[in-house]
Structure 1
Amino acid sequence: MAETSTKKHLSVTVFYLLTAMGIGWPAFAATGHLLPLWRSGDTLAPLSLAVIHTLILGSMLTIAFGVLYQIVPIAFQAPPVARHVLWWHLPIHLASVALMIAGFLLSDFVDVGIGGTIVLMATGTYFYFILKSYRKARNRTVVHRSLIIPFASLFLVVALGIFQALWPQSVTPEVLFSHMLVGGLLFWGGLVLVISYKLIPMFVLSHGYKASLTRTAGFYFPGVGLWIVAVWLPKQAFTPVYMAITILILFGLVSFVMDVIAILRARKRKRIVAPLYDALFATLIIVVTQLWLIGVLWTDDGKGVILPIYLFVMLGLVPLMFAYMQKIVPFLWFEYRFSKRPERKTAPLIDDMVPKVPAQTGFIVYCTGAIVGAASIAVGTSALTWIVLDWFSAFLLTAGSFVLFLALQHVLTIGGRRPDDDE
């Protein structure tokens, strides 16, 4: 009898990723109304807070949960995470985020605090199962050890958010800025930095390169940590402390870029597929916008942070996730549908499973929308032309994401229904 696959269920990760993409559509669509507010420096309007948290907690964090579910066992040779996590964690997480969004829209911050507390508890339980696998890893690399920092920072940023919701009278600019730094740079920036040392070599088939995550993290994380501390320091201490922050983060990002270049030069396969170019583009945007934020730090321009933050999220983090999905979803479908089955020999290559034209069209349309939105924030006015462009940007963001979703959904139809192993 021919050997058949033991992958009798499609990976939980696919459900997380595709669900998360759909949650992002209303947030993208709403940016058409929000861009004029962001131009004026208003990011704390009820709709703005609702959209920001829909995108970050409802969409991006859900994607991160899905990726971590699969990456930890595969990358670190750890036991698989229990499948039942999907059935209780995903609905609880989404319901609690929905409660938060309703609270923001109604300016009912008690509901925001309750929703955030449920998010924190569900995330803690989710990470209990992730860490059960994580602790039993056989491949305990520096990436494995360094992931603890973004893991811990996720709980800190959610806790800061709950504090602001339940005790709004105690919210100061220092609390708000700390919330942004912990979430933006310590969690998202740190997660991208650390996991890139695993995903980029894995996807470009690179071996024998010389790179040091220890060196990069040794500069980057202390720099971000010092920046969080500096928020609370008196003004007269800013210059020497900010000089140290600038040097540490700058050296960390330069070290990261040098390592990525070394990884790419050591690749075994000369051809780089389109999703990897997409990922490298998004990674470059993430690096550049963090450098931009350091520059804004020196000008003490609170309104000036809006544009680099918009680009960091909309042209950096989100496209990076979209790019990696084009590698992860077909790999997981191949494992489920074809791995070790007789029809494996006739299966398409993993890199050919995502239809290239729709996927790249969707990616380019989305990025064009983000660029138009950035231009609106930078130079836009209240004139009718810019109002039309605001909604055009929102349309491109939503449409591009939807087209890419359809391309990824098509992967799940390749090969038809999976045959039963007992047939």
Structure 2
Amino acid sequence: MNVKKMYGIFFLIYFTLGMLEAYFVLYIPLFYYEILAVNRNNLAFIQFFGYLSLILTPLFAYILDAHIESERNHKIFIFLCAFLLCSCFSIFLINKNILLLYGIFLGIYFLSRMILRTIMSKIFLTLSVESPKIKHHMILIVNGATGVSFLVVSLVFDFIIKDVFSLLQWEMFFMIGWLLTLPLLSIVLFLRNNTIFKKIELKNEKLDVKSEETNKKFQSGVLIFGIFLFVSFFLACSDLIFLSLVSSWVFTRYNESSLRFYFAFYYVITIFSLLGYLFASRIAKKRSNILLLFIFCCVYLFFLVLLPFSNFPMFLLIQCGLAFAGYIANYMYVSIAQTISVNTRYKTFVYQILVMSQSIANIVFTPLGTSLSAFISVEMLIFLSSILFAFSCGIQLTLVLVNKIKKIKDFR
């Protein structure tokens, strides 16, 4: 399969994943917090167990690296995950008042997303070894697809939801969300007569010889560095403690008109996200990625501190700044994780271990924020996130200085 077709597959998969993420991050929390007004402690309990499937990612990545080799098995996993992603939304549609069904929806979604992303990461890592240009194109396409999906869902919300308290309109909105997942099934047509993984296996065999020669030397210099990098990004993801509450916060802090404008304005925030990734793809080739990660995490922290004191126009500007800086920081972390992992024997496994910091942050901070929001204001949660984020920046500064002095690795 040529690279352009691979780009198309990546865009289709990550568009669907981004669309589902938009529902999880923006709309379903608003629906549960303000429309159904469910017990937040019960919801947090369901969220915790739903997110637990994320910790299986490195295990599956190891199995994928070490034991799953055939073209047929890879494709079976992709087809199965595509089917599960398209069908799990229907479980949620059965009865949204039953939180257990929402929990099952979460578990199936995160499990199938985990398997699918792990397989796509294996492809990404192998192709990125072939060419740094492909690496940056892949990161841009993946996150560009996510941004476009958020834009599409926000437009659908604005078109369907005329009365924010109308359960019938919400029902229709969620039904359209399910329909938007169905194009993912067309991936069968892309993969049916194409060979992807045999080519990857041959490349991996050649690369493993080189990896075994340099693996010990590389790992001894990077292991501790990677651990501290993992911890710093985990703390940087502490904004998850309030992110699922943002829509509800806008609705209660300002008004319904502001909420509608926020959703309608979301495409502008999406554009800033895409600009962030475009900018990141340019500067990542010219500067140390760990230094750029530190700089833009500090920029993100600056906007985060201002957020609780903002009026609505300022809130929108801050959201654009957070999107721009946050997406650049995420780009740099993914690039560093890729650089570290391709020099190891089990590339996909090591890569998933490094990016699992965000998964663990989801398990910890999202349910915690939901539970605490029952008696603590969102402003206080943002303040708590800012403190943790400041610790993250401190760790990153230390890594920048160590990298500069000892020259462990030039992360480009």
TM-score (norm 1): 0.29
Greater helix content: 2
Determine which structure has greater relative contact order: mean sequence separation of CA pairs < 8 Å that are 6+ residues apart, divided by chain length: 2
